Amino acid sequence: MLYALCDLSDLTTLPILSKMGEMVPETIKKRVENLREEIEYHNTLYYVLDQPEISDAQYDRLLRELEKLEEEYPELRSPNSPTQRVGASPLETFEIVRHTIPMLSLANAFDETEARDFDKRVKKFLGSSADITYIAEPKLDGLAVELVYDRGQFVVGSTRGDGIHGEDITQNLRTIKTIPLQLIRKEIPAPERLEVRGEVIMQLKKFKDLNRRREESREPVFANPRNAAAGSVRQLDSKITAERPLEIYCYGVGEVIGRTFKTHSEILQIFPKWGFRTNPNIQRCQNIEEVLEYYHRMNEKRETLPYEIDGIVIKVDHLDLQTKLGEIARSPRWALAFKFQPKQETTKILDILIQVGRTGALTPVAVMEPVKVGGVEVSRATLHNQDEINKKDVRIGDTVVIQRAGDVIPEVVQAVTSKRKGTEKKFRMPSKCPVCGAEVIKEEAIHRCIGLDCPAQLKGRIKHFASKRAMDIEGLGVKLIHQLVDKGLVKDVADLYYINKEKLIALERMADKSAQNIIDAVEKSKTKPLSKFLYALGIRHVGETTAEDLARQFLHLDDFFRLSEEDLMEVEGVGPEVAASVHQFFGDQKNKESIELLKKAGVKVIETKVKEKGNFEGKTFVFTGTLKTYGRDEARNLIESLGGMTASSVSKKVDYVVIGEDPGSKFDKAKELGIKTLTEEEFKKMIR
């Protein structure tokens, strides 16, 4: 894991001094602890179980008493105190944390046949014909997060991210009242470590009220509750998050140390006793037929629920069976998302335009009369390719049925031929690229521009290259990319590392500070692991997973210039198509020159083989203060390349704390726990 947990020992074991240097009375310490536990207990009764035992006035008196004691004895303050849900200083950026156990995505089913096929696959894999017991639950349309508890104390909260890494949003999650800051332990002791997965949502009524208030204050409204929830959770200022009506439903666990479970249903039964909120519509089903009945019931109930759902989730209940089933790629074999049929509407196609992607693929896009689909206004929809247009016989001027595929991506389902007037026009893919005029060729179903200098392809490549999961050049948005290409300042991704501040300032809406921010972001992006660099290059058919597989197999960037297609196919999951694409990319002279220019500009690719030179295997590092030589991401990448891990907080599980300028409380915590500290110079010597 990349993050470690704070060592939150029982306050009664620490020698705490008052402001006057005197010992804090044991009675005061005990009263503070009891108040926190009591307030958290009543929070759970009120926000989670909807069964309050005391009046609001009584609750307020308890909270005021705790606030007064913490003000009088500031040594007793704790980040998990109910008084500290809001108040942290705004962040400059989110730290990245690694999930101990990946937060996998789910495979989808869209009809009963696919759901039954899932049941058959489970039985076949287990070698049994007996009915499987499943847990069926609503598929909430919100933001997936992970909550980590150390001995009952909430220490780290993060987004799902890419499933492997997420963003540290701890201080924002602290503001959500349905998230316990410390677990209730009256009935069941808290595990030593508990990772809880849940979905942060915003109820429909509260979403509408929020948008109404934003309209009144002339702020842009949110498109849907999911966007509102995700945007609220990812605020750098937790005070803004605290103002948003967010809540959470918890549905599973990651790593658990100090307690075992036999079934998923057992986990869900214990959750409320620890203070976690679970969805009241979850059902244990004895077989797949009961699951299908549940699906139809929830589909009918969907419009009456106070929140949005887009389907149900089916999970094998017994955990030992989940372990046997395991996973494939990035999806578990023991779970499935069974989606509801997408919401559909009719509208009229006004025109069909061509969009040219970074690989030269031409995609026809329907420009339509705006229409709301599932609460979101849609005016464009993909038509995929010419073959799809021909198959559906879609024409300019047609009335069409559109839907949001998976309730997200708009697409044209069919033309309503009965409404044709005879003025509709058939569409034909152009023989020349509409952007650069180069020849267009057809490869299977895809029409592709062969122009090597096509501005549209270049813009797409730059956007991909600079994206967060690639080189992560913060602030390099679409509008700026268009200006850089249109004005001839960037003709290759490597040119990004040669542009100067003066040229940036000359662009529209680019002030001195904004230009400097871009220069700093470009500089910060210069050090990346081989896997991220390979992904950033935008090689056809090479996604993040394939890039990671290639980097593990071949170790050095220069290796790829010498590899044959046969060599590449030795990598698990790499077939002839991917091998041919990678081989062609590194055999292209223009690509070789581009990579050479990146190297000359100072871009450093951290190659996997460097791990052999280091001795960081199994070691965990924490950084505090400002480093002169490295940015945080660069330092993190170096540690990982040498086999080590990084954490966002200090605990006994941390091996080294690297001290930069103006170190914070992590330095004090390291000294308190006796963890070895390193100056930046000492750290640099270790990695040489």
Unique residue bearing structure tokens 């070789």: 592
Strands (E), 375-451: 376-382, 399-405, 409-415, 440-443, 446-449
Tally Cβ neighbours within 10 Å of residue 363: 15
Give the rounded distance of the alpha carbon of 163 from its chain centre. Answer: 7
Beta strand 376-382 with 361-373 is: antiparallel
Residues tagged active-site: 139
Beta-carbon contacts of 602 under 8 Å, excluding residues fewer than 6 positions away, are 497, 526
Exposure of 538 in the CB half-sphere (CA atoms within 13 A): 21
Instruction: With both helix axes pointing from N to C terminus, report the angle between 112-126 and 288-301 in degrees, rounded to the nearest 10.
Output: 150
* Start-to-end Cα distance in the chain: 24
Q: Apex CA 368: angle with CA 362 and CA 372, to 5°?
A: 120
What is the spatial distance between Cα 326 and Cα 232, in angstroms, rounded to a whole number?
A: 34
Tally Cβ neighbours within 10 Å of residue 360: 25
Q: 498 vs 321, 495, 519, 522, 597, CA distance in Å? A: 55, 5, 10, 10, 9
492 within 8 A of 544, measured Cβ to Cβ: no
Closest CA to 78 of 14, 162, 131: 14
HEC profile of 296-338: HHHHHHHHHCCCCEEEEEEEECEHHHHHHHCEECCEECCEEEE
Give the rounded distance of the alpha carbon of 9 from its chain centre. Answer: 31
